[in-house]
Structure formats: structure tokens, C-alpha cells
Amino acid sequence: MGADQPPTNPIALGASNPSALDLYRQKLNLHDTLVWIFRSLKKQAPAAKIVAVGYPRWFQSGGHGSDCEHFTEMDQTFINDRIALLDNIIQDAANESGVASYADVYNAFSGREECTGDPRHYLVDPSNGNLICYSDSHDINGVDLVQGVAKSPELLHPSPCGHITESQIVAPEFSAPNPNEIAQFSLLPGELRSTSITAPSSGDTRRMDISTTWTAAGVQTTLIGASGAVTPSVQGPTYAVWTILDPPPSSTWSLQISAPIATVNAGSSTIAINQTSSSVFLLGPASVVNGPTCANGSCTFTATVNTKVQPLVSTYDWYDEHANYLGSGSSISMAQEPSPQVGTLILKTSSIYGGDSYRYTTFDYALPCFGC
């Protein structure tokens, strides 16, 4: 595989700088960064259950009816709306990651928002240290100008009572099944299981995410699409994720999961399969990498960019998992790489807010070793 530095790399990186992908990731949008963080956490802690927590709205729905904590009623409505948008992005990133679930706390402070009481009206029981919250306390700190001058980090943050309110929603998520889970079973060494997954019947599904996680090393997965073709995946030590753009309504996909005797630890592995669908693109995925198509000693991967992002793309840059630059353009050709690796495609796009932004897509590859 090539390791040449790109001639017009926007960050002037390449094989000479192994931190290339890390610097690119600093320029990713929030959605793609969260997807990357969730998957990175799962790789480092395969047995962990990851719960992404959203944000609660600050004000009453529709506003307080008058100024509240220096915010006009229009300000209040706008801020609540922005918090809802942020929560949608976090939830969508958790779904796309395939390894995280989402805890919805948007309405957690309902009836105890800003301007509905006193955030300081609580007591600590001296006998046991437990917090006592009263009915007229609210769950979010207000704007205290004196504390603001003193650089207090707690302005417009949950009060101690607010932290309790959120914890009562979030804590059960760690023991609850993923709400997107469609199947769970045990897989014995040497066993092969096949599960059918059906796309929504409505014709407005823009993206379907399928993921599976397991508990023992060595599990192998293959997703076969409605056309009979194998669907590319993103894989970690104990998970695999597939992103399908514009799936045909009611189309059926076959997920095959096997546990080779030679590679699976003694005992069974617990398999969980999740499916989510979205009728709109929020912020991702920007692209899907298809392939490889191999001929004459070379294998080619091709990027399919979603229609929302395509007009904004200015450059394509491809890297291997060691941050070696592979080339540019909407497709990339490589030769002989028999060991499994993870590649990365970086899209440089113009931002609707001005300037440039960067989107990334990972893909797995183990290419035939021609002539070996």
C-alpha cells in the first residue's frame, strides 16, 4: 500500500506524521466525533455498556411567560429548541455507533426548570449524608452574577437535586436492554446462526443501522443484502456495525454469525443484535465505502456519498489504520494486504456556516495476497 504524502492535503499531513488521523478528528463535527468516541471506548473496554446521556431543557416548554434568569421568552424557546437538536444529534450518533444506547433526559426537570423555585432549597441529612430536596426547589442552577464573577462552573448546570433527578433516569439504563435490540441469543463454539432483518415498510427510510455485539473473542459476522451481496461493515473486537443508505422498503437482510471452534474461548458468547432506522439524515453518515472489487492483482474501494453531503465535498483522502496516506479521489486501489485492517476515508466539505469541515468513514479490509 502507498505511503506517499498527499500533494494538497488540507492539513499537510501524511505518512511522516502518524498523528494525521488524530488531527483530522479534531476538525470533525460533533456527530462524527461522538461516533468515533463511542466505538473507541468499546474497543478499549469490550465488556463495557456505554450509555450516552442527553441534556435536559432549561426552561418550561414554550417559555416561562416572561423574562427568566436574564433570558427573554423568545430566548427560552430558542434555547430549549437548540437543546432538543443537540439531543437528537447525540441519540443519532449513539444509534450509528452500534455500541451505545441513549438515555433521554430532555424532560427530566419538568416542573422544576428555571424560575420554578429555588435551586438552593435542599438540605443534607447530617445523620447519613443523604440529600433532601423540597417541592419548591428546582433542578438547575440559575444565573448568579456574583458567582459568575467568581468564575463558578455551576451556572446553568444541574443543582444537587437535578443530579439526583437525572441519575434516577440514567442508572436503570445500565441494566435495561437496549431499546433497539431485536434479538439476543447464546452462540456455542462451532455454531452458525442466521437472523433475518427487515427494513421498514415506509418508503421514507433514509438510513438503517444494524449492529451486533458479543462477549467472547473470535466471533465472525456477515450481513448479506437483499441483492445477495455482502454489505461492508465496521468492526471492533466485540462488535460489528453496518450502515445502509436508502434501504428498499420491506427488504430483507440476512445476518450470519458464527463462532469457529479454533478461535472462540471456552463456553458460549452472548450475541445482541440491534436495528435503528431514520427518516432523515441528521449529520451522518457522510459516506459508505463499498468493495473491494478485485481484478488483475488490484482491489478497488469506492465511496458512495449521501445526497445531502455530495454537493459540499471538495476532496477525498484515504488512510490505512497506521495513518499512512493511500491516495485521493472517490475510489482507491490497493494490492495484497492479507491481514485484516481498518481504513479511513476523510471527506473535506464546505460548511453551511462558512469555512471547511471534515467527515470520516471507517471500513475494514483484508485483501487477497496476489502471488503469495
Answer yes or no: is pLDDT of 15 > 80: no
Higher pLDDT, 360 or 83: 83
* CATH number, domain with residue 185: 2.60.120.380
Residue 339 has pLDDT above 70, yes or no: no
- pLDDT attached to residue 1: 31
Mean pLDDT value of segment 315-322:
80
Count of domains for the chain? 3
Residue ending a domain, choose from 176, 193, 227: 176
Indicate the pLDDT class of residue 23, thresholds 50, 70 and 90: low
- Whether 267 shows a pLDDT value over 70: the answer reads no
Rounded Cα distance between 313 and 304, Å, is 12
- For the cut 80, the answer to whether the pLDDT of residue 176 exceeds it is yes
Final residue before a domain boundary, out of 176, 191, 211: 176
Beta pairing partners, 317: 328, 346
Same domain membership, residue 144 and residue 191: no
Whose cell is 436492554? That residue is: 177
What mean pLDDT is reported for the chain? 77
pLDDT at residue 9 above 70? no
Q: Supply the pLDDT for residue 367.
A: 62
| Dist CA 31 CA 361 (whole Å) | 12
Shared domain check, 208 and 91? no
Is residue 196 very low, low, confident or very high in pLDDT (cuts 50, 70, 90)? very high
Of residues 14 and 278, more confidently modeled? 278
Three-class secondary structure of residue 118 per DSSP:
coil
* Same domain (yes/no): 82, 139: yes
Domain end point (choices 247, 278, 309): 278
Q: Which of 356, 298, 343 is nearest to 317 (CA)?
A: 343
What CATH number corresponds to the domain at position 2?
Answer: 2.60.40.10
Instruction: Tell whether the model's pLDDT for residue 352 goes beyond 70.
Output: no
User: Among candidates 193, 212, 210, 196, which has minimal Cα distance to 259?
Assistant: 193
**What number is the average pLDDT over the span 38-61?**
89
Examine the domain organization and report whether 113 and 2 are in the same domain. no
pLDDT 10s digits, 241-264:
888 877 888 999 999 998 876 554
Nearest CA to 209 out of 175, 184, 240 is that of: 240
